Structure formats: C-alpha cells, structure tokens
Amino acid sequence: MKAIVQDRYGDAGVLHLAEVERPVPGAGEVLVRVHAAALNHGDRVDLHGEPRIARLQLGVRRPKVAIPGRAVAGTVELAGPGVPDWAPGDAVLCETSKRGFAEFVAVPAARLAAKPAAVTFEQAATLPVSGTTALRALSTVDVDENRRCKVLVNGASGGVGTFAVQLARLAGATVTAVCSPRNADRARALGATEVIDYTRDDFTRGAERYDAVIDLAGGYTVAGMLGVLTERGVFIGSNGTGGPVLGPLPRLATILTWSIWRRGKVKVLLNRPDPADLTTLAAMVADGRLRPEIERVLPLAETAAALRAMETEHARGKIVLTV
C-alpha cells in the first residue's frame, strides 16, 4: 500500500510517499481503508520531534512509528478476530495512534464510530481530535441561556476553535471570538457575536467579563485570562505549544497550579479518543447543526505541502488529505 513515511525528524521535506506493507488487523482490531485524513497539531509535533521532551515517547533518534496521521475516515476492509460489530463496507471515522496517512490503517474496533451517509468522508475526518477536543471543552461549561452566558474562544479560527465557536453557540451561549482580522468574517459566520482582533486589542485588559474562557492559542498570561472571568466563570486551557525543549509543560504546570488554588474554576483541556463523542458530532454534522470548516483538500501525495501550509499560514479551519 502507499503511505506517507517519515524516517527522521525535520521539516516537511522529510515526508515522502512510499510503498509499505499493508497492516494485518489483530484480535479486536479492524482494517480501515482510508478515504480521508485530517491534519492536526500533533502531526507537527511528530514531524519535528519538538518539543524534544516528546521524543521520549515518539523515539529519541528517529520516529518509532514512521507513518504519521491520527484522524481518519474510511470504510472497513476487514475485521480481525473477535470483532462482531463491524463488517466490510461499513463507513467509519476514528482517532488512530498514528499511521493514518496511508491507504489502510489497523485500528482497535473500540475506537470506531459509524459515519452517517449525509456526512462526507472529508467532513468526518475533521471530527477526531479537533471536534472531540472542542466538545470536551464545552462539556465543562455551564451554559445557561436565561442568564445570557458569555463564552470567549481564544484561537477561534483554528481546527478546534471553529468547532468550539459553533458548539458554544449551539448550546445557547453568546460567543466572543479572538482571532486575526482575516478570519473575523468567518468567525461571525460560525456564530460569534463579537470578534476581537488580537493584533490590536488585548481582551485581558478590557472591562468585559465572561462565564467561560476557552484558551486554544495562548498569547496571554493565565492570570490575565482568569481576571476576565465572572464570579462563577471557568477557564479551560489547552496545553499550547511552548519552547523547543519542554514545549507546553511550563504553561501546563502554571494551569495546574492555578487549578489547585481555584478548584473547579481552572481546567486543563485534554483530548481522549471516545467514539461516543464522534457519534454525537457526526449526528450534528448530518443534520446541519455543525459545519466542519475545511480550508483545503489535497491528495495524500501532497502531505508535505499541506503541513507547510498549516505551519506558515494563519489557521482557517482544517486541512484534509484524500486517499
């Protein structure tokens, strides 16, 4: 089968299309024929091996797993032993443990969710990681339409942010989006009532107060963002990027420290694979309530170009590869 292979750390130029052995599903696994795969921040970490502390898990000198890619949608090709619930031809979506940028990937059956017919494979591929992270963020927010709950999303134009804005609005919140000016109109189209241009305005210095601040981009101190919360407000922080060695660990430590001091008011946003979340999101896409923002669709062979675009341009939703 064809797959994108990375045999060393570096820039996007280290990625190349190669012929590799097709995986065989083991007990409890399903072989999925990949139709679409979406790029995520974790793919950049895998590419560069940065922050370097991540190499303790990824591989110290070179990647332990040569094929990147975590978010896929496709059809079941073969069910392994002990998998009674999936059959060849079933349309599915899932989060993988890498190996997704390929024609086939073996995945634990417990991670699969059914893809509704009304959802395209490209749309479905955006839901693992980005969609599920946004859904998990909103699950911690107590949205009360009667008191006009206000939610601020910092990093509203990225893969997670575009879902977070929509999900907050669907829950009945009034949404403020923080993004670059080129993405302001898109944020409003997704449901943001107010848009803050982070290149001109610092919302942490303003007088407005929010019932929830969902931080997906960093750029502001945790203390500053806590300062714009209402009395019952909550701060949900992602682990961000950080420096080349420790990456997000210092900021994560700061968030965890604040979470001890302000128990229940400060939460770390962590994603975990959950097919129930994927089922919920896919149903919302199928009935038109939720719209994956796909910036561009490229063939698998252009994965390197897709990652370059992801790194050099301001985020505008998701980039999807077709296989």
- pLDDT-derived band at 150 (thresholds 50, 70, 90) equals very high
Residue 314 confidence (pLDDT) above 80: no
Please, are residues 158 and 223 in contact by the beta-carbon 8 Å criterion? Answer: no
Q: Which has the minimum average pLDDT: 83-87, 129-133, 257-261?
A: 257-261
- pLDDT-derived band at 261 (thresholds 50, 70, 90) equals low
pLDDT at position 206, please?
93
Same-domain status, 25 and 83: yes
**Within a domain: 142:** yes
Same-domain status, 118 and 215: no
Which CATH number does the domain housing residue 22 bear?
3.90.180.10
Mean pLDDT of all residues in 4-25 = 96
Please, are residues 76 and 88 in contact by the beta-carbon 8 Å criterion? Answer: yes
**Within a domain: 189:** yes
Residue 146 confidence (pLDDT) above 60: no
For 263, counting Cβ atoms within 10 Å of its Cβ (0-12 exposed, 13-18 middle, 19+ buried), the class is exposed
Pair of tokens at residue 9: 């750390």
- pLDDT-derived band at 144 (thresholds 50, 70, 90) equals low
**How far does Cα 21 stand from its chain's mean position?**
28
Same-domain status, 135 and 263: yes
The rounded radius of gyration (Å) of the Cα atoms in the chain is: 20
Same-domain status, 68 and 140: no
**Within a domain: 232:** yes
Mean pLDDT of all residues in 139-159 = 84
Which CATH number does the domain housing residue 207 bear?
3.40.50.720
Please, are residues 42 and 58 in contact by the beta-carbon 8 Å criterion? Answer: no
Same-domain status, 98 and 48: yes
**Within a domain: 283:** no
More confident residue, 273 or 121: 121
Same-domain status, 212 and 176: yes
Please, are residues 153 and 216 in contact by the beta-carbon 8 Å criterion? Answer: yes
Pair of tokens at residue 281: 């999101």
Beta-carbon count within 10 A of 81 CB: 9
- pLDDT-derived band at 272 (thresholds 50, 70, 90) equals confident
Global confidence as pTM? 0.93
CA distance 258 to 266: 7
Same-domain status, 245 and 315: no
Domain count, the chain: 2
Range of the domain at 262: 131-268
pLDDT at position 241, please?
66
**Within a domain: 284:** no
Same-domain status, 197 and 309: no
**Within a domain: 273:** no
When the pLDDT of each residue in the chain is averaged and rounded to a whole number, the result is 91
Same-domain status, 156 and 122: no
pLDDT at position 200, please?
94
SS (H, E, C) the chain: CEEEEECCCCCHHHEEEEECCCCCCCCCEEEEEEEEEECCHHHHHHHHCCCHHHHHHHCCCCCCCCCCCCEEEEEEEEECCCCCCCCCCCEEEEECCCCCCECEEEEEHHHCEECCCCCCHHHHHCHHHHHHHHHHHHHCCCCCHHHCCEEEEECCCCHHHHHHHHHHHHCCCEEEEEECHHHHHHHHHHCCCEEEECCCCCHHHCCCCEEEEEECCCCCCHHHHHCCEEEEEEEEECCCCCECCCECHHHHHHHHHHHHHCCCCEEECCCCCCHHHHHHHHHHHHCCCCCCCEEEEEEHHHHHHHHHHHHHCCCCCEEEEEC
Please, are residues 316 and 186 in contact by the beta-carbon 8 Å criterion? Answer: yes
- pLDDT-derived band at 218 (thresholds 50, 70, 90) equals confident
Domain C-terminal end among 253, 268, 283: 268
Same-domain status, 259 and 165: yes
Pair of tokens at residue 145: 């339409």
Same-domain status, 116 and 31: yes
Taking only the tens place, the pLDDT of each residue in 276-312 is: 999 999 999 999 999 999 999 999 999 999 999 988 8
CA distance 95 to 60: 24
Q: Rounded to 5 degrees, what are φ and ψ at 52?
A: -65, -25
305: left (phi > 0), else alpha (psi -120 to 50), else beta?
A: alpha
Same-domain status, 91 and 140: no
**Within a domain: 228:** yes
**Within a domain: 279:** no
Residues 6+ apart with CB under 8 A from 305: 12, 298
Beta-carbon count within 10 A of 137 CB: 28
Q: Rounded to 5 degrees, what are φ and ψ at 125?
A: -65, -20
Alpha carbon separation from 29 to 23, 77, 78, 273 (Å, rounded): 11, 11, 9, 15
pLDDT > 70 in the chain, percent:
91
